[in-house]
Amino acid sequence: MKSSPFERLDTFLKQSKLSFSNLASCSSEMKFICVTLLIISGIADSRADNFDVVGPAVPLMAVSGEDVILPCSVKPSISAVNMRVEWSRLDQRGSVVHLYEDHEDRNTDQLPSYRGRTRLFKDELENGNTSLKLSRVQTSDEGIYKCFVQSESWYDDTTAAVRVEAVGSAPVITVDGFDGSGGLHLQCESKGWNPEPDLVWLDSEGVTLTSESTDTHRDDTDGFSVKHAITVYNSDTKYHCRVKLRHHMLETEIIISSKMFNSRKTLMILNSVAVVLSVIAGILIAVFFHKKIVLYQVLQNQKKSTQNEITFMRKYAAVNVTLDADSAHPRLTVSDDGKQVRFQYAQPNEENDEDEEQSFKFDIRHCVLGKFERSSKKFYFEVQMKELNDWDVGVARKSINRKGWIDLNPKNGFWTVGVRYGTRYQACGDPHVPLSLHVKPQRVGVFVNCEEGRVSFYDVESWYHIFTFTGQSFTEKLYPFFCLGFSGRNAPAVMTICNDLRILKMDCV
C-alpha cells in the first residue's frame, strides 16, 4: 500500500535519533533546517518506491486459434519478482485470468476457460515485464483485461482491450427452388466469423446484387453466422457469394444453367400430374375406406349373429363330456377327471400289446375319443388348445378304424377341423379344404345337428364361424374326437375339455 508522508517523516526522525518531542528543544533556526531536511528526505524516499504500470495504447488484435501477448510493464524498469501480478477481466466482474504472488502462480480461482492457456514471462519479471501470454485464442476471449501490480508500499494498474478476429467457413450456396413468377431462389451462408463480416452477392460482371433477406446470428463460442438470399431469373449465368472481413475474403460461385429452368417446366408438368394423381388417389382411398367401413359393419353383424348362434347352441351342451382313456394312444396321458390330455415322452409299456384292451386304442395318430351322456340328436361342446401347434377336433363314429395311419375325412367317419405347423388351418374333408383365419383359435366350439346332417365349428373367443359340414348322413352314434397331431411340436401343451356350458360358463378345467 502507499505510505503517508507523516509515516515517512516519523521513520526518518527515528533513524536520526530524533522525534517530534525532542525536536521542540532545538533552536528556531535548527528547527527550520531539520524540518526542511525531513520533508526533502521523505519526498525523496517516497518517490524512490513509486512506479507506474504501462499497457498498450490501442486495442490488441488477435486471430482465433493463434497466441497473443498482452503487454504490461512496470516503469521505471524495476524488478517485479517480489510483487503481486494479477490479470483479470473487467467486463466479467473482475474474474481472475492469471495470478502471480509469493514467487509462484496461484490460479485456484482462475476462470475455467483460461485453464492451461495463460503464463507470465517469469525470466522478464526482473526487468519489470509483467506481460501475459494467452494461447489458442478463442472468440470468447474478446474483452477488456486489467493488469494489476502491487509491491509492499505501492500499486498501480492498466487495461488492455483485446479484439479477436476469426475467419469462418467458405460460403455455401443452396438452391431453394422456384417462386410463382419463375425466379430461382439462391441462399448463401457462412459460419464462424468474428467480428461480423460483410456478405454480398455478385453477378458475372461483378455488380453487387441486392439481397432480399438477411439473417445474422452470433454465438459466444462459434462467432457470427450470416445468411443472405436472392432470386435470379437469367439462365446460363454465373453468380458469386463473397464474404469479407478486413483483409480476409472467401468466395463461392454457382452457374445457373438453362437446364435448371427447363427442369422447372418439367417440374410444373409433374406437379400438375401429381395433383391429378393425388385427386385420383384421394378418391380411391375414400372408396377403399368406405369399403372397409362397410366390411367392418358386415363383420360386426356377422360377429353379433355368430355370438347369438353360440349362445343358442350352448343350450344343447353335452352333459359331462370326458375323454375315453381306453381309446387314447399309448403316448397320451388322460387326467384322472377325464378333462385333459397331454403327450408324454416316456416309452409306453408294450407288455400288454396283445391285450384286448389295446385293440381299442389308436396306435399311430395321437388321438382319443370322448364320451358323454347323450339325450338329444343335437349336442355341443367346447375344447381349449392354447399352446398347441398341431391339433384336430370334431366328432367321429365309434366304429372308426383306429389302427395305422388314418386319413381324417367324412368317408372314414371323421368330421374335423385342424391346424398344421401352427399356421395351416384346414377342414378335413375329401379333399381337405384350406381355411383362412384372421386369429389363431384358442377355444373351439363344436355343434352337431344329426337331424339336419350338419357339423359346425366356431372360434368362441372371437365369435367367428370357422366351417360347417353340410348334407351329411349319420348312420351311427357320434362321439367327440380329439387329436394332438405330431408330438414333437406340441409337448408339453395340453388340450382341455371345457366345463358344462348349459349355464354359459366360459371357464375351462
**pLDDT given for residue 501 in this prediction:** 65
Mean pLDDT, residues 351-380: 77
User: If pLDDT is split at 50, 70 and 90, which confidence band does 487 have?
Assistant: low
9 by DSSP, 3-state: which? helix
pLDDT tens-digit profile of 203-256? 888 889 888 888 888 877 778 899 999 888 877 688 989 999 887 889 998 888
Mean pLDDT, residues 144-164: 95
Q: Spell out the residues 6+ positions from residue 309 whose beta carbon is closer than 8 angstroms to its own.
A: 458, 465
The fold of 172-256 is Immunoglobulin-like (2.60.40)
**pLDDT given for residue 507 in this prediction:** 46
Residue 25 has pLDDT above 80, yes or no: no
**pLDDT given for residue 78 in this prediction:** 94
- Decide if 362 contacts 368 (C-beta within 8 A): yes
Q: For residues 327 and 233, which has the higher predicted lDDT (pLDDT)?
A: 327
Segments making up each domain of the chain, as ranges: 5-49, 52-165, 172-256, 259-302, 317-349+357-497
Q: Decide which of 2.60.40.3140, 3.20.19.10, 2.60.120.920, 1.10.630.10 is the CATH code for 317-349+357-497.
A: 2.60.120.920
pLDDT tens-digit profile of 118-138? 999 999 999 999 999 999 999
> What's the predicted TM-score (pTM) here?
0.44
User: Scanning the structure block, which residue is given the C-alpha cell 463461392?
Assistant: 252
**pLDDT given for residue 206 in this prediction:** 85
Q: Spell out the residues 6+ positions from residue 207 whose beta carbon is closer than 8 angstroms to its own.
A: none
Q: Spell out the residues 6+ positions from residue 172 whose beta carbon is closer than 8 angstroms to its own.
A: 188, 189, 190, 252
Give me the amino acid identity at 273. V
Residue 80 has pLDDT above 60, yes or no: yes
Lowest mean pLDDT among 169-173, 343-347, 411-415, 463-467: 343-347
Strands of the sheet with 60-63, listed across from one edge: 60-63, 155-165, 143-150, 84-89, 95-101, 104-105
**pLDDT given for residue 503 in this prediction:** 45
CA pair distance 420, 486, nearest whole angstrom: 9
CA pair distance 321, 381, nearest whole angstrom: 8
Question: For residues 426-464, b (16+ Cβ closer than 10 Å) or e, as one string?
Answer: bbbbeeeeeeeeeeebebbbbbbbbeeebbbbbbbebbb
DSSP string, 247-281: TEEEEEEEEE-HHHHHHHHHHHHHHHHHHHHHHHH
Name the H helices within 330-417: none
- The long-range contacts involving 450-458, CB below 8 angstroms and separated by at least 24 positions, are 450/377, 450/378, 450/474, 450/478, 451/377, 451/378, 455/394, 455/395, 455/415, 457/393, 457/394, 457/417, 457/427, 458/306, 458/309, 458/310
Lowest mean pLDDT among 138-152, 164-178, 251-265, 456-470: 251-265
Residue 2 has pLDDT above 60, yes or no: no
Q: For residues 386 and 66, which has the higher predicted lDDT (pLDDT)?
A: 66
pLDDT tens-digit profile of 295-316? 677 677 778 888 888 888 888 8
**pLDDT given for residue 35 in this prediction:** 56
Q: How long is the chain?
A: 509
Antiparallel, parallel or unpaired: β 155-165 and 60-63: parallel
CA pair distance 90, 438, nearest whole angstrom: 76
User: If pLDDT is split at 50, 70 and 90, which confidence band does 23 have?
Assistant: low
User: If pLDDT is split at 50, 70 and 90, which confidence band does 45 have?
Assistant: very low
Domains 52-165 and 172-256 share a fold: yes
Cβ neighbours around 338 below 10 Å, total: 18
Work out the mean pLDDT of the chain and round it to a whole number.
83
Mean pLDDT, residues 394-404: 91
Give me the amino acid identity at 353. D
User: If pLDDT is split at 50, 70 and 90, which confidence band does 8 have?
Assistant: very low
Residue from 63, 60, 130 nearest 100 by CA: 130
Share of the chain above pLDDT 70, in %: 80
The fold of 52-165 is Immunoglobulin-like (2.60.40)
- Decide if 99 contacts 86 (C-beta within 8 A): yes
Residue 6 has pLDDT above 70, yes or no: no
Q: Spell out the residues 6+ positions from residue 485 whose beta carbon is closer than 8 angstroms to its own.
A: 366, 388, 389, 390, 391, 392, 418, 419, 420
User: If pLDDT is split at 50, 70 and 90, which confidence band does 360 have?
Assistant: confident
Mean pLDDT, residues 72-93: 93
pLDDT tens-digit profile of 156-187? 999 999 999 888 889 999 987 777 667 888 89
User: If pLDDT is split at 50, 70 and 90, which confidence band does 15 have?
Assistant: very low
**pLDDT given for residue 324 in this prediction:** 93
**pLDDT given for residue 482 in this prediction:** 95
